């Protein structure tokens, strides 16, 4: 019915990731696609440690019900303690839908007490995603409304394929407000004035508008990748996200974590305090094997082999 990951503690390479198909009918079981690469290889590649967290509730366009939320929550808790993941990609297995938000049909049947518990868990889960220590990319290949857009906003980057034609936070039209981080994450991303307009109006917009105003970082086309005979528009965002993950993966994983911590926490400080915080983050890398490897690789004019140590 939904998809969330149960992340193992040992390295796992799942061939099904590259042979994935999109759901058009009900999914009998939760699914997860994890790809850590070959962690036992003596020469780690930039693709090592790229983990997929995939939504798969096709009958409801990935609307978040209690079961999906439970699985998301479990996945996030696992990711918080996972030592293999270097980059996370959040994506959808449902053609034309990233996430349509909360399951309003289920919400109507909830008691007030159960709804408050559900809402608290949703906020805790999304905050957990936003605070993951490694880079996170939302690969959007379809609509993202309400909580679905809020889910994408927890990521460090958002990329959108050509099927991403409906985006927005329409909660005020239902006499509520975005309640899973939308008011805060969007304001910090594009500024309070533009965020207020989009939230007050509940405007639905497309990926081009989102790109122009800084909500989407990159637009993915539906052209074929090198070596492919044809293209799939419903995978364009995911393909671009993987390409970005490959680029990011060329950096040292400890350095990427330190850079994310320096930026994210520094934004809540005055500039002088933030620069001291940056210095503290920098110092954590002094005695790492990766730093030594980076210097040695530069001297020997070869690509470094970082191991996150």
Task: Spell out the residues 6+ positions from residue 225 whose beta carbon is closer than 8 angstroms to its own.
Answer: 231, 239
Note if 150 is an active site residue: yes
Note if 144 is an active site residue: no
**Residue 303's pLDDT band (boundaries 50, 70, 90)?**
confident
Of 175-179, 192-196, 299-303, which gets the smallest average pLDDT?
Answer: 299-303
pLDDT of residue 295: 82
**pLDDT exceeds cutoff 90 at 116:** yes
Q: Indicate the CATH number of 32-249 among 3.30.310.40, 3.40.50.1820, 3.90.226.10, 1.10.4080.10.
A: 3.90.226.10
Note if 171 is an active site residue: yes
pLDDT of residue 6: 32
Compare 233 and 20 and report the one with higher pLDDT: 233
63-72, 100-109, 151-160, 297-306, range with greatest mean pLDDT: 151-160
Note if 226 is an active site residue: no
DSSP letter string over 225-278?
PTT-SS--GGGHHHHHHHHHHHHHTTS-HHHHHHHHHHHHHHTTS-HHHHHHHH
pLDDT of residue 174: 92
* Alpha-carbon gap, residue 150 to 209, rounded angstroms: 17
Number of Cβ within a 10 Å radius of residue 261: 17
35-39, 82-86, 89-93, 194-198, range with greatest mean pLDDT: 194-198
**pLDDT exceeds cutoff 80 at 299:** yes
Tens of pLDDT, residue by residue over 261-294, are: 999 999 999 999 999 999 999 999 999 988 888 8
Fold of 253-300: Lyase 2-enoyl-coa Hydratase; Chain  A, domain 2 (1.10.12)
Domain definitions of the chain by residue range: 32-249, 253-300
> How far from 94 is each of 26, 45, 55, 78, 140, CA to CA, in Å?
10, 29, 8, 24, 11
Tens of pLDDT, residue by residue over 204-216, are: 999 999 999 999 9
Which of 150, 258, 262, 278 is labelled catalytic? 150
Tens of pLDDT, residue by residue over 187-235, are: 999 999 999 999 999 999 999 999 999 999 999 987 655 444 434 457 8
At CA 135, angle to CA 292 and CA 130, rounded to 5? 135
Compare 110 and 25 and report the one with higher pLDDT: 110
Tens of pLDDT, residue by residue over 58-70, are: 889 999 999 999 9
pLDDT of residue 148: 96
What's the pTM value of the predicted model, to 2 decimals? Answer: 0.83
**Residue 46's pLDDT band (boundaries 50, 70, 90)?**
low
pLDDT of residue 293: 84
Task: Spell out the residues 6+ positions from residue 156 whose beta carbon is closer than 8 angstroms to its own.
Answer: 135, 136, 137, 260
Which of 32, 60, 63, 102 is labelled catalytic? 102
Q: Which of 89, 21, 83, 84 is nearest to 58 (CA)?
A: 21
Compare 224 and 186 and report the one with higher pLDDT: 186
Mean pLDDT calculated for residue range 155-177: 95
Which of 49, 60, 101, 171 is labelled catalytic? 171
**pLDDT exceeds cutoff 80 at 31:** no
Instruction: Tell me, rounded to whole angstroms, the distance of Cα 31 from its chain centroid.
Output: 17
**pLDDT exceeds cutoff 60 at 38:** no
pLDDT, averaged across the chain? 83
Which of 37, 147, 148, 252 is labelled catalytic? 147
């Amino acid at each position: 019915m939904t998809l969330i990951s149960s992340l193992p503690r040992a390295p796992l390479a799942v061939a099904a990731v590259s042979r994935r198909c999109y759901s058009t009918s009900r999914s009998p079981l939760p699914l997860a696609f994890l790809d850590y690469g070959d962690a036992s290889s003596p020469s780690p590649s930039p693709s090592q440690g790229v983990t997929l967290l995939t939504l798969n509730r096709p009958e409801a366009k990935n609307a978040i019900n209690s079961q999906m939320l439970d699985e998301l929550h479990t996945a996030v808790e696992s990711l918080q303690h996972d030592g293999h993941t270097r980059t996370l990609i959040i994506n959808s297995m449902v053609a034309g839908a990233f996430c349509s938000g909360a399951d309003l049909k289920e919400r109507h049947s909830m008691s007030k007490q159960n709804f408050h518990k559900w809402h608290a868990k949703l906020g805790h889960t999304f905050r957990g995603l936003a605070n993951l220590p490694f880079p996170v990319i939302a690969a959007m290949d379809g609509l993202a409304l309400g909580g679905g857009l809020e889910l994408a906003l927890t990521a460090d980057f958002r990329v959108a394929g050509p099927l991403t034609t409906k985006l927005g936070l329409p909660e005020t039209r239902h006499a509520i407000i975005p309640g899973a981080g939308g008011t805060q994450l969007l304001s910090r991303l594009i500024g309070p004035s533009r965020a207020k307009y989009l939230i007050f109006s509940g405007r639905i917009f497309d990926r081009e508008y989102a790109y122009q105003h800084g909500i989407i970082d990159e637009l993915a086309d539906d052209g074929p990748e090198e070596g492919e005979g044809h293209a799939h528009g419903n995978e364009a965002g995911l393909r671009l996200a993987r390409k970005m993950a490959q680029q990011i993966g060329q950096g040292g994983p400890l350095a990427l974590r330190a850079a994310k911590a320096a930026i994210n926490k520094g934004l809540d400080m005055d500039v002088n305090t933030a620069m001291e915080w940056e210095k503290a983050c920098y110092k954590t890398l002094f005695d790492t094997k990766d730093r030594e490897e980076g210097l040695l690789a530069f001297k020997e004019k070869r690509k470094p082999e970082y191991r996150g140590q």
